[in-house]
Structure 1
Amino acid sequence: MGSIEELRRLASSDYGSRSERAIWLQIYDRIGTALESGLLAEGERLPGEDDLATLFGVNRVTLRRALDRHQREGRLQARKGVGIFVRAPAVRYVVHRYEAFNESVCDDAAELRILSVTRRPPSPAARRGFDLGEGAEVFEMRNAIVIGETPVYLATKEFRVDVFAGLEEVVARGGTILDAYAAAGIPRYVRAETRISADFATETEASELQVSQGAPLLRSRSFNTDPDGRVIEVNAGCWPMFSVELVFASGVADIATDSPFDASPR
């Protein structure tokens, strides 16, 4: 039996009392069940709004409220002029102090894309971490991790210009972030600290991550040091909350002190 027939069966069940849970939320629950059970598979296109409204026996306004909530939460993805699709399942990241996030994605289909490298004034965290004065600049690198055509991670990295003098040239010839470290003569680095918080997608982030504005995100802020303990990279990243599972690798516990993120403006 096809997924549409199964969805029709799920949709045809009697609704519970509206006084206990609004109809659109009951539809939201049923679509959620279809997503979680795999009835609606990754990348699958949903029927059109008119067909879904008929399927659930409601008008389009009611149906759209349920769909919009799943889109805001990152489970569904609207493609303008094409339709609504099921987003990819959660991607697993193993957070390890000696690996970059882009190396930690447990999915062979994941592709790192470097979007841009520019010079700009440092963020407050980078200014503190790099101990920079007025008028200083950093390299800003923006990158994304994409699985298929679905972006699952955005990051803005800041690097010391005096350490990574050849960063632009490395990226221009197709090099990776690790190539940039090698070119700078840094054999390895240590992820000294990572902080995770929850937030909502801005308009720009929503567009880049293909979620609705206000969708819940996980944000990370981290900094890396060289073997001598000097801060050389500051990183701010974000994922759609329902698209990621974070796994913190076991090992010797280290507590970062004197963090450049402390007392930074929120």
Structure 2
Amino acid sequence: MLGQPNSPLTALDGLTLAPRQDSPIWQQIYNHILGRIESGELSPGEQLPGENHMAARLGVTRVTLRCALQQLQKEGHLTARKGVGIFVRSPPAVFSIRDGRSFRENIDTHSRSIATITRLLARDQADQTSAHMLGVAAGSAIIRLRRVRLLGEQPIYVNDKYFPAHRFPDFEDAYGERQSVSDVFRAHGIDTFRRAETRISGGFASPEEAEILQLTPGTPVFRVNARNTDRAKATIEWTRGCWPLTSVEFVFGAS
């Protein structure tokens, strides 16, 4: 595997730089690594060696090497995990926008494991924005839940969810060890719910989002703004979430 002591420079095997060629040095590095990715010689999820190793191996500056790596990241061939390293991008998860389904039921991870980390579960007061989205008065009691989803060991989604507190007096107990919002709904008599609205926009990771998702600040991301309603069309959940751009493919109208 790339980055292991017995094969630390696999990404560069077979690369001989030719400074007098028409293409710049960084372009030659880019072409070589891209070719190995497209041929399958570098597998999805594999880690590249560190920049220092690769620059030393090629006899180039880190600035030159970084030009190639950053271009591959921009095009979605590589993904950087802050403090961890650079990896060949895995196939994106497929998230279907469907009514009445849990997150796990809506996501296709290509057989990779999905895990949940709850970072915050607290009762608070609604500000103007959350009050408007939930259809309650400003200052009303709400519940805020922040979670991070991991695909394998890689964080791929962070979201903040807001709920009207009066609808879920036993939220914390129902949420429990399973960390399931669907369990909370069922425990409070909501056996089905509808995705009333989903808005998806593009942006760039803020420093806070980048830290949580192990990205470089400014990495392209999808932002999701969604509301779920009960049978009576009352809003029971408002979600704001952030996905790295290359980590997910959205599918609408799935059965």
* Shared fold, TM over 0.5: yes
Q: Distance in 2 between matches of 1:47 and 1:192?
A: 46
Could you tell me which residue of structure 1 aligns to residue 122 of structure 2? 118
Matched, 1:222 2:222: no
Matches within 5 A, 1:1-266: 4=9, 7-9=12-14, 11-12=15-16, 14=18, 17=22, 23-25=25-27, 27-68=29-70, 70=72, 75-78=78-81, 80=83, 83-107=85-109, 108=111, 109-122=113-126, 124-250=128-254
Is the 1:79–1:85 Cα contact (8 Å) retained in structure 2?
A: no
Q: Distance in 1 between matches of 2:26 and 2:141?
A: 51
Q: Distance in 2 between matches of 1:65 and 1:39?
A: 22
Structure 2 residue matching 1:162: 3-state secondary structure: helix
Query: CA offsets, 1:213-259, max 9 Å, x none?
Result: 000001111100001111111011111101111112346xxxxxxxx
Is the 2:8–2:49 Cα contact (8 Å) retained in structure 1?
A: no
- The AA in structure 2 aligned to 1:8 is D
Cα deviation for residue 58 of structure 1 reads: 2.3
Name whichever of 102-111 and 222-231 sits farther off: 102-111
- The AA in structure 1 aligned to 2:116 is L
Shift of the 73–232 alpha-carbon distance from structure 1 to 2, 3 Å rule, reads farther
Shift of the 132–78 alpha-carbon distance from structure 1 to 2, 3 Å rule, reads closer
Cα deviation for residue 95 of structure 1 reads: 1.5
Is the 2:117–2:149 Cα contact (8 Å) retained in structure 1?
A: yes
Q: Distance in 1 between matches of 2:215 and 2:73?
A: 6
Structure 1 residue matching 2:90: 3-state secondary structure: coil
Query: CA offsets, 1:40-78, max 9 Å, x none?
Result: 223323123233224545222211233345557773334
Structure 1 residue matching 2:45: 3-state secondary structure: coil
Structure 2 residue matching 1:206: 3-state secondary structure: helix
Shift of the 69–3 alpha-carbon distance from structure 1 to 2, 3 Å rule, reads same
Residues paired across the two proteins, number: 245
Structure 1 residue matching 2:80: 3-state secondary structure: strand
Structure 2 residue matching 1:181: 3-state secondary structure: helix
Across the aligned residues of Structure 1 and Structure 2, the Cα RMSD in angstroms comes to 2.8
Q: Distance in 1 between matches of 2:58 and 2:94?
A: 34
Q: Distance in 2 between matches of 1:174 and 1:244?
A: 24
Shift of the 154–36 alpha-carbon distance from structure 1 to 2, 3 Å rule, reads farther
Q: Distance in 2 between matches of 1:198 and 1:30?
A: 30
- The AA in structure 1 aligned to 2:69 is L
Gaps of 5+ in 1: 252-266
Query: CA offsets, 1:163-205, max 9 Å, x none?
Result: 0111122234544111100111101100011111100001111
Is the 1:73–1:241 Cα contact (8 Å) retained in structure 2?
A: no
Cα deviation for residue 6 of structure 1 reads: 6.6
Structure 1 residue matching 2:107: 3-state secondary structure: coil
Name whichever of 232-241 and 26-35 sits farther off: 26-35
TM (norm. structure 1) is: 0.79
Structure 1 residue matching 2:13: 3-state secondary structure: helix
